[in-house]
Every structure is written in C-alpha cells, then in structure tokens.
Amino acid sequence: MKDQVRVSLVQLDAKPLEPAANAERMAGFIEREGREHRAELVVFPELSSTGYVQSARDDRFAEQLYRASEPIPGPTTERLAAAARAAGCHVVAGISQTHPVIPEVLYNSAVLIGPDGAVIGVHHKVHACRDEKEYYIAGDTVDVHPTELGNIALNLCYDVRFPELARVQTLRGAEIVVSLWASAVQPGKVPPDSIIQRCATRAMENAVFFLGCNRTGTDDTMTFYGRSAAAGPSGDTLASSDTDQEEAVRAVLAGADLRAQRRYLTLFRDRRPELYGALTESLSSGATGTGL
C-alpha cells in the first residue's frame, strides 16, 4: 500500500432517476476534490446514478428504474472517467447497472475507475436488502483490485452486516475496503452512528482501512442520514461526518499504520479456519455445537 492516500467521501444527494444530472454533479465533486484537496480516491454512495429504490414494488417506478439504469461502461462511468482523468484520481461510485446480456435484469453495482479513466473493477452487491430484491439480482463474486494506491475491495451497504465478506476480501489481499451506503433514518432499527460503528468494527477485525460513504437527501418516503466515516486498521475513526447534509469527508490513510497493526496483532497467523466450518453450512443442516 502507498505511504499516504488522500480520500474524499462525498455524501451526495442523488436525484431520483436522473442519471445524467447525477453524473454531472459527481464529476464536479471529483474535479474539485482533486484540484482543491489533492484527493487520490473520491467515493460516492450506493446507487448514486439513480437514487434508491422505492419502498414497495411499483410497476411504473420499475419501468423508470430500468430506463434510467445503464451498462458499465456507459454514460455515467464515461462522465466519471473524464473527471477522473482531469483530476488524476481514482473514483468509486454506485451505479444501477443493466445486465450485459439479459434485457430488463439489473445489478446494484459499485464501480472503481482509475486515474486514466479505465474501469478497474465492478462489485455486484452480494446481499440484496429488503425491497432491493424486487429489482436487483445478487452478485456472486468477491474481488480485490490492485491499484497504485493499494489493494482495494468494494462492498455495498447491507454487505457490511456480513463480516465474512470483508474477511474474504482481506484474505484475498485487500488493504482498503470501500463501502457505499444508502442508509435511511430508521428509528429504533439503525442508530445514527451506525456507519462509524461498523466501519470501526470491520477495520479492526481485519486490520484494514474501511471507508463508509452514505448518501443524503430524500427519495420517496426515505430520508438518508449521511454521517460517513473512515476507519483505520486499529479501529480508530480517522474522519467522520456529524450531519445529514451534502458534504465531503476527507481523510489521509497511512500505509505505515496498516503495516504496524498487522505486526502488532498477527490476526491472520492466529486464525483457526478448521473451527469455522459452520459458516459454510446451510441453515437446514441442523449443525450444533458440542462443546462442554
């Protein structure tokens, strides 16, 4: 991993079903963060291209969502690529992606674009949450992408509730995990500091940098609460937002911190994978512990 990586997490207020307008606003943020703050990695929330799905299945909305979705590469990634080249930085953004072969089938995707404008990688959300299942098929790959900044892995919102995913990404070499969120206010179900907590936990468990970028604004009946955060390998919060307003959260990731933490706690040497078989058993297997 590079000695220092300057990151900007942009709490975008994505406009529902307006991909061209959202792409243009993201491009503006990329160029500004690169020019004014020397950002090397600029991150946007889940489904930044279209906004989030409506809270119940609606044929009219479904038709509009399919129409607003796009391939990768496509119009949104091409606009972000141009901005990435102009700013000389990497970009991660959430895209409602059309299936490359099957018409009217969608992925909830995160795309990683390099400073040369090339698409480095795409993550299809592995764990579809609630109403997302009505629109998106779940991904089935877990990739890590080597870059000049370090090895970067991607996940999307609900993916963070499954620690196995971040662990597999780390075992495949991830040093920076970028998590894109579209988390709305849910009193009694999701605490307002949820992103800070989860970033810190996933970072500490795996001795990685864990970045959580949440959106702002309102779609349909949902209000998104922002409060993005960046956590270091020891679980310390490097930077965070305390607002639900659109803003950029900036942090510097020090590669020395990752190396030092992994020397201090030898997490990967100390694992006992022979004891973790239940993780891959189906719920119907009826496996039970027999410890005395």
Residue 173 lies in domain: 4-272
Summarised one tens digit per residue, pLDDT across range 238-249 is: 999 999 999 999
The answer as to whether 282 is a domain residue is no
Summarised one tens digit per residue, pLDDT across range 170-216 is: 999 999 999 999 999 888 788 878 899 999 999 999 999 999 999 99
Summarised one tens digit per residue, pLDDT across range 3-24 is: 999 999 999 999 999 999 999 9
Q: How many domains does the chain have?
A: 1
The answer as to whether 284 is a domain residue is no
Tell whether the model's pLDDT for residue 283 goes beyond 90: no
CATH number of residue 92's parent domain: 3.60.110.10
3 state DSSP class of 200: helix
The amino acid that residue 113 corresponds to is I
The answer as to whether 285 is a domain residue is no
C-alpha of 170 from chain center: 15
The answer as to whether 175 is a domain residue is yes
The answer as to whether 29 is a domain residue is yes
Percentage above 90 pLDDT, the chain: 85
CA 276, 277, 280, 281 dihedral sign is negative
Q: How many alpha carbons fall within 13 Å on the CB side of residue 280?
A: 6
The answer as to whether 289 is a domain residue is no
Instruction: Note whether 213 and 224 are within 8 A (CB).
Output: no
CA distances (Å), 137 to each of 5, 133, 225, in order? 33, 7, 26
The answer as to whether 281 is a domain residue is no
Summarised one tens digit per residue, pLDDT across range 97-131 is: 999 999 999 999 999 999 999 999 999 999 988 88
Q: What is the DSSP letter of 181?
A: -
> Across the strands, what pairs with 136?
106
3 state DSSP class of 91: strand
Question: Does the pTM exceed 0.75?
Answer: yes
C-alpha of 223 from chain center: 19
